[in-house]
Amino acid sequence: SWFLLGRRRRRQGEPPLENGFLPYLGCALKFGANPLAFLKEKQKKHGHIFTCHVAGKYIHFLTDPFSYHALMRQGKHLDWKKFHFATSAKAFGHGSIDPAEGNTTENFHQTFIRTLQGNALDALIEAMMENLQYVMLQSRAPKLQSNTWVTEGLYTFCCQVMFESGFLTLFGKEFNSNNDKNLSSKQETERAHILNALENFKEFDKIFPALVAGLPIHLFKSAHSAREKLGEALLHKNLLKRDNLSELVTLRMFLNDTLSTFDDMEKAKTHVAVLWASQANTIPATFWTLFYLLKSPEATKAATKEVQSVLESAEESISLDGKHISLNRKQLDNMPILDSIIKEAMRLSSASMTFRVAKEDFTLHLENDFYNIRKDDVVALYPQLLHFDPEIYADPLTFKYDRFLNEKGEEKTDFYRNGRKLKHYYMPFGTGIAKCPGRLFAVHEIKQFLALIFSYFEIELVDSNVKCPSLDQSRAGLGILQPSNDIDFRYRLKCL
Ligand code: HEM
């Protein structure tokens, strides 16, 4: 009946309630237009917990970072899977991946942890190092032949380089070894295929927020067809024609074939989901990191120096004679300045949201008080509130490359609010049980990208005074926000 009436009444012991003015939509439009401003305003009015009626759902926002762990600690009342599973099925078009519904017994989260972390990560890093250089130096070579500057959009560049390298790293190369006639024309064909996949990815990614919000994909003709084409490319029969598949993809193919009743296209769509997860946040994160670096000569200087010294101690030299640089996981882990730069860029651009759904009516215990939560209500964190809190991060809208470094030049981990040390101060990858399993690989990828850019290229913004693009809010809640416009930059090979 609340659905018909459009709003509920606050009961005793429940958090303050914002029904919004619109029936059904509630606060959805104001929230959607600028979630950060909306939540700040409600926080000012109601304090550290309040409930918003958003498009038929009741969402309890916890805004005090000292209460965040309540969400992890009271996990037995809260479900993280249902929402994720349902969203994935809706967005990518595969059947339910909830083992309770009988299509598969695969534990996806376990599969991801097993194949993106631990020893599996070393192999991913090694492949990515090779692929990034292949993409930067060979695949894009026609642009680089003369020693003149190439001008391009920075977002376009990051998109192409990260998508192509990341795709090759997870899904391997087209192989055709018994027919080795003309290597370079094969490379061109492969590149054309991947750039075509990139176009389909972008077309589909554009409407991703609408799909998460519950709109059916049939409303979006070209995005729908783009998703089907991505699925086509990732059919098992096509993947089997490729060489150097990652452990992640090999294992997922095996589990699809042995533990699921999915048909061929549904299996392929689970790979589309992995492709999307591996790219959708990494691309904008790479853009912001490089953009802020190019805006800050001080940061560039510190980063270049760190890269040089790691290359020297690894006894790697930079050359353009086809011998690639290799840096392993341990060497990449020893780059605190790049770590700080990447963190700072993601602090400024991330708008992920952590969601849990109440399995039953229960009482949520926070630090000093407690609240009644109803079954099927959502409890949510919006960490951008934390990332932009001036008490935690002085001058929060300014990029400070060394913000995450301590006096010794090592990783800084002590951040305070009200004089108290925070456990949670940086959360672009989510937190708790559903935290991004690809986070280590993601940071390594961006680091590798930067190390190579600064080793091989001279690079600068076309207009060094260009304004920082604003954050495109259309994907607020889903991860790293994209810039609302592209920025021109130029680059050329160094004379080595
Ligand atoms: C899930 C962020 C890169 C694979 C997530 C989640 C976030 C996130 C916020 C949801 C966590 C939650 O619901 O609480 C990011 C960011 C990235 C990044 C900011 C880059 C800067 C990657 C990469 C991969 C990856 C490179 C894989 C190669 C996944 C997968 C999931 C996930 C498979 C779903 C996990 C599950 O539900 O079991 N990511 N991610 N991510 N991410 Fe990432």
pLDDT tens digit sequence for 228-256: 999 999 999 999 999 999 999 999 999 99
Amino acid 313 reads S
Contact 480, 342 (CB under 8 A): no
d(CA 405, CA 260): 46
- Ligand 1 geometric centre to CA of 283 (Å): 13
3-state secondary structure of 242: strand
- Ligand 1 geometric centre to CA of 201 (Å): 17
**Residues in contact with 281: Cβ distance below 8 Å, sequence separation at least 6, in sequence order:** 442, 479, 480
Contact 35, 478 (CB under 8 A): no
Measured from the Cα of 80, ligand 1's closest atom is: 13
Q: Which of 26-30, 56-60, 213-217, 292-296 has the lowest mean pLDDT?
A: 26-30
As to burial, measured by CB atoms within 10 angstroms (0-12 exposed, 13-18 middle, 19+ buried), residue 158 is buried
Q: With bands split at pLDDT 50, 70 and 90, how would you rate the model's confidence at 2?
A: very low
Q: Name the residue at shortest CA distance from atom 31 of ligand 1.
A: 436
Report CA 327 to chain centroid distance, whole Å: 23
Tens digits of residue pLDDT in 52-103:
988 788 999 999 999 998 888 888 899 988 888 888 999 999 999 998 889 9
Q: Name the residue at shortest CA distance from atom 34 of ligand 1.
A: 436
- Ligand 1 geometric centre to CA of 243 (Å): 25
- Identify the bridge partners of residue 416 per DSSP, sorted by sequence position: 421
Task: State yes or no: pLDDT of 383 exceeds 80.
Answer: yes
Q: Name the residue at shortest CA distance from atom 4 of ligand 1.
A: 438
- For residue 274, the tally of other CB atoms under 10 A from its CB is 24
Q: In which residue are the tokens 């904008």 written?
A: 284
- Identify the bridge partners of residue 358 per DSSP, sorted by sequence position: 78
Q: In which residue are the tokens 């389909």 written?
A: 200
Q: In which residue are the tokens 């304090």 written?
A: 47
- Ligand 1 geometric centre to CA of 365 (Å): 28
Q: Which of 25-29, 70-74, 293-297, 467-471 has the lowest mean pLDDT?
A: 25-29
- Pair of tokens at residue 237: 């029969």
Nearest to 308 by CA among 279, 338, 278: 338
d(CA 164, CA 170): 10
d(CA 388, CA 289): 17
- Ligand 1 geometric centre to CA of 445 (Å): 14
3-state secondary structure of 490: strand
Q: With bands split at pLDDT 50, 70 and 90, how would you rate the model's confidence at 4?
A: very low
- Ligand 1 geometric centre to CA of 308 (Å): 30
Paired sense of beta strands 378-381 and 57-62, if any: parallel
C-alpha angle 192-198-199 in degrees, rounded to nearest 5: 90
- Pair of tokens at residue 351: 């708008």
- State mean pLDDT over 424-435: 90
- Pair of tokens at residue 414: 């002590």
Contact 19, 26 (CB under 8 A): yes
Measured from the Cα of 443, ligand 1's closest atom is: 21
Measured from the Cα of 84, ligand 1's closest atom is: 37
Measured from the Cα of 109, ligand 1's closest atom is: 38
The answer, yes or no, to whether ipTM is higher than 0.90 is: yes
Nearest to 187 by CA among 164, 157, 160, 155: 164
Mutate-to-test residue for ligand 1 from 121, 248, 281, highest number of ligand atoms within 8 A of CB: 281
Ligand 1: list residues with CB < 6 Å. Answer: 84, 108-109, 112, 116, 277-278, 281-282, 285, 352, 354, 428-430, 434-438, 441-442, 479-480
Tens digits of residue pLDDT in 106-157:
999 999 999 999 999 999 999 999 999 999 998 777 677 767 899 999 999 9
Measured from the Cα of 286, ligand 1's closest atom is: 21
Task: State yes or no: pLDDT of 1 exceeds 50.
Answer: no
As to burial, measured by CB atoms within 10 angstroms (0-12 exposed, 13-18 middle, 19+ buried), residue 57 is middle
Q: With bands split at pLDDT 50, 70 and 90, how would you rate the model's confidence at 5?
A: low
Q: With bands split at pLDDT 50, 70 and 90, how would you rate the model's confidence at 495?
A: confident
